[in-house]
Amino acid sequence: MSQAGALAAPAARAAAPYSFAVVSGVISVPADEAAAQRMLEAIARERNLAFIVYAGNLKGAKEACRDSVYTQRGAILDAARVPLVFIPGHDDWVTCGTPAGGGYDPVERL
């Protein structure tokens, strides 16, 4: 049987290259906020950057887990010019039950 009339599968096309960034724990006190924002802006200028993963610790262990802290720090992440995935870290919820963290219910802070 001849294969002359068989259909050939199209050649596989290579996916366009992309990269992503992972950062963690760059904001421990309010004074770190401006530097963190500049860092996210610099990362966003990287070529072929698809997204950023912020792998936790949006606040320091000795900062209270107040809504205002999360609102302010969340605004910094929301201002990123590329998609950003946030994964809560230890200081974002576990330390909230300590006196320094404000004595909050850690699970509620998630």
49 within some domain: yes
2 within some domain: no
What is the reported pLDDT for 4? Answer: 60
9 within some domain: no
Distance from C-alpha of 89 to C-alpha of 36, rounded to nearest angstrom? 16
Sites in the chain below the pLDDT cut of 70: 1-6
97 within some domain: yes
Distance from C-alpha of 58 to C-alpha of 88, rounded to nearest angstrom? 8
The whole domain housing 60 covers 19-109
What is the reported pLDDT for 104? Answer: 96
3 within some domain: no
CATH number at residue 94: 3.60.21.40
Q: How many structural domains are present in the chain?
A: 1
101 within some domain: yes
Residue 25 falls in which region: left (phi positive, over 0), alpha (psi -120 to 50) or beta = left
Q: Cα-atom radius of gyration of the chain, to the nearest Å? A: 22
Distance from C-alpha of 73 to C-alpha of 69, rounded to nearest angstrom? 6
pTM: 0.81
4 within some domain: no
CB 29 within 8 A of CB 63: yes
